[in-house]
Amino acid sequence: MESVKSRQESFFEALKQQIIAADGAMGTLLYSRGIPFSASFEELNISQPDIIRTIHQEYLNAGAQIIETNTFGGNRIRLEANALGGKVADINYAGAKIAREVCGHKAWVAGSVGPLGKPLKPAGMISLDEARAIFAEQIAALVKGGSDFILLETFTDLREISQALAAARETVDVPVIAQMTFTEDLKTVMGDKPLEIVRRLKELGAIMIGVNCSYGPQGIYEVMELIAGLPEAENLYLSAMPNAGMPRLIGGRYMYLTSPEYMADYSRRFVQLGVNVIGGCCGTTPAHIQLIREAVKGLKPVRRVIGKSGLQVVEEKKQPAKEKAEASHFAQRLGKEFLASVEIDPPRGVDATKLIEGAIFLKSKGVEFINVADSPLARARMSPLVLSQLIKQETGIEIILHLSCRDRNILGLQAELMGAHALGMRNILAVTGDPPKLGDYPTATGVFDVNSVGLVKIISNLNSGVDLMGRQIKTTTNFTAGVAVNPVAIDMESEIDRLQQKVAAGAQFAFTQPVYDLKILENLIKLIRSFSIPVFVGILPLRNAKHAEFLHNEVPEMFIPEKIRKRMIGAGDNGAEEGVKIGREFLRKAKEMVQGVYLMPPFNKFDMATRVLEIL
């Protein structure tokens, strides 16, 4: 039986003599056969191996000389989305074994490894060491199952693919092909450029570097033309595996319309650039691979002309960031005087009239700052940015905009912040957000690319004139970033540690969850005194006894002392009056300990908030 070593030797020998055709898409064919995108394609290696085996065979029959394992999303992070995190080894071993059995000695098996699906720190919550360990787990199983080499593909972050490549070099003794995907401006989504990518991946031991997915053959050709002319790529093999164009939704199905003939034509062009391995990515089928194989069959590898790329690289000149916009009135007064803010929840509909009237009422009572929540408890509401702008237009009151990590990825968060700044919003309360299972749509997917610590880091970077990855942006923002802290958290040690991380990331003020016990507030202030961050105590006036019991017993990590609940019971029909009285009493005692107060009027009863504030 042919050994792994001999297969690898034959692969390197073939690279010197011919152009090698790889296979095409797996997901496209599975989708066309009724497997929904919501399913775990990788799990089919165990539950439906025959369908995977059949697709591999179809590509082999079409002339593919490299068959990729059905394991692109086979890492622990992605599999956990389908409750399969404990089956990493089984799924990847099975995927490699199926491909090995189909290929025999007729083709080489590439162990497919894709990105984790969640960003690394500081954007996300996964450390570099954690990422490397996760990749190592998957890669070890792929090689054990019979992969001849590892194919890293569709990566957009140089730091992440570097960890995957390092994991492969430390874990197994097989060659590694490293492929990234690019945008139309010839960079990855994270802003990595071809030159820095080639340098880094070559340094880490990749034997072949390439481009896959992206925007189709033409887009990949432009990137490959650039890479092929780099002196740093002189001793590397190159690969290109484009999509079949961009998908279109036709008759309820996503279709890729780039023809096999067009792909074959570009295959010949890739060969002229010096590309050694050519295959397909999303949308490609055995029909595409068959014509690609026919187009390159018999062609010899072309000697690349280093430094003679037809594509000119224009280095971006760093422009001096524009002068910062003036700091908000809130920021200018923060920590220097006692400030008060009142919260408004966006409507569960499109009519904001009553809330705008409420804001006008608050302004008439002397309220200077309004904070607008972002779908608290994961309930569907109007966009907080839209409501904030409506209130600002009608009243001129300064807004503290809540921004949740739940509903936006890192691109969306940065886009939302830039849009908010353009609309004149300068104060942001960065919150992780309640999970969807608490709200109206428990089956909805929470994004959580970053938590509140990561969001504060994004804001701090934008204030410094760079994006999350440290790349310069054209305009410097001037946000004041706030965060939340819960004085009655179940794990108080973790809560304080989290706040410390937020402050280190750049948080400039903190709002507490509602507090009803002065000793609890005193304990919090004692624990965070060294953080030197202005604290606004949260006060939620109780409306009646039923309201108090609900908050205490049914809302996570809320605590209302028994004596307060008894007072509300005793108040009977005058519950709202008693709630205001309790709020006033607490604020009178607490105001010497904090730098501000954060009023949360129940059910948008704004008069309750202003009556509490009358003591100031």
Q: Which amino acid is at 463?
A: N
Architecture of domain 329-542+576-613: Alpha-Beta Barrel (3.20)
The total number of residues written for the chain in this structure: 616
Lowest-pLDDT choice from 105-114, 254-263, 315-324, 414-423:
315-324
- The Cα 540–Cα 579 span in angstroms is 9
60, 102 contact by CB (below 8 A): yes
- State the average pLDDT over residues 400-409: 90
**% of the chain exceeding 70 in pLDDT:** 92
- Candidates 205, 163, 156, 208; CA nearest to 22 is 208
What's the confidence (pLDDT) of residue 608?
96
Please report which confidence band the pLDDT of residue 412 belongs to, taking 50, 70 and 90 as the band edges. confident
Q: Which amino acid is at 571?
A: A
* SS3 annotation, 118-152: CCECCCCCECHHHHHHHHHHHHHHHHHCCCCEEEE
DSSP class of residue 562? Answer: H
Lowest-pLDDT choice from 159-163, 182-186, 357-361, 526-530:
182-186
What's the confidence (pLDDT) of residue 546?
95
Q: Any idea what the Cα angle at residue 257 is, between residues 252 and 263, rounded to 5°?
A: 150
Whether residue 301 has a cis bond before it, omega within 30° of 0: no
Please report which confidence band the pLDDT of residue 183 belongs to, taking 50, 70 and 90 as the band edges. confident
329-542+576-613 matches 4-296 in CATH topology: yes
CB-based burial of residue 587 (10 Å sphere; 0-12 exposed, 13-18 middle, 19+ buried)? buried
Mean pLDDT of the chain: 91
Please report which confidence band the pLDDT of residue 125 belongs to, taking 50, 70 and 90 as the band edges. confident
340, 613 contact by CB (below 8 A): yes
- State the average pLDDT over residues 120-125: 78
DSSP class of residue 60? Answer: H
Lowest-pLDDT choice from 290-304, 307-321, 373-387:
307-321
Lowest-pLDDT choice from 9-13, 26-30, 189-193, 310-314:
310-314
* Phi and psi torsions of 466, nearest 5°: -135, 160
The answer to whether domain 4-296 has CATH 3.20.20.330 is: yes
581, 608 contact by CB (below 8 A): no
What's the confidence (pLDDT) of residue 313?
44
Is pLDDT above 90 for 451? no
Considering all CA atoms of the chain, what is the largest pairwise distance in Å, rounded to the nearest integer? 92
- Secondary structure (3-state) at 429: strand
- Candidates 473, 552, 410, 547; CA nearest to 120 is 410
Beta-bridge partner residues of 159: none
Tell me the torsion sign for CA atoms 511, 512, 515, 520: negative
Please report which confidence band the pLDDT of residue 467 belongs to, taking 50, 70 and 90 as the band edges. confident
489, 497 contact by CB (below 8 A): no
Q: Please name the residues in contact with 32: beta carbons below 8 A apart, sequence gap of 6 or more.
A: 253
504, 350 contact by CB (below 8 A): no
Please report which confidence band the pLDDT of residue 314 belongs to, taking 50, 70 and 90 as the band edges. very low
Cα distances from 400 to residues 425, 479, 612, in angstroms, run 8, 10, 20
pLDDT digits (tens, 9 = 90+) for 10-55: 999 999 999 999 999 999 999 889 998 889 999 999 999 999 999 9
Beta-bridge partner residues of 177: 151, 208
pLDDT digits (tens, 9 = 90+) for 485-544: 999 998 999 999 999 999 999 999 999 999 999 999 999 999 999 999 999 999 999 999
The residue with tokens 């961009």 is 246
- The Cα 42–Cα 113 span in angstroms is 11
Q: How far is CA 247 from the centre of its chain?
A: 22
Is pLDDT above 60 for 441? no
What's the Rg (C-alpha) of the chain? 29
Is pLDDT above 90 for 242? yes
- State the average pLDDT over residues 77-104: 96
- Candidates 209, 225, 206; CA nearest to 217 is 225
Q: How many CA atoms lie within 13 A of 330 on its CB side?
A: 27
Beta-bridge partner residues of 344: 372
Q: Which amino acid is at 397?
A: I
Please state the domain extents for the chain.
4-296, 329-542+576-613
Answer whether 0.75 is exceeded by the pTM: no
- Secondary structure (3-state) at 115: coil
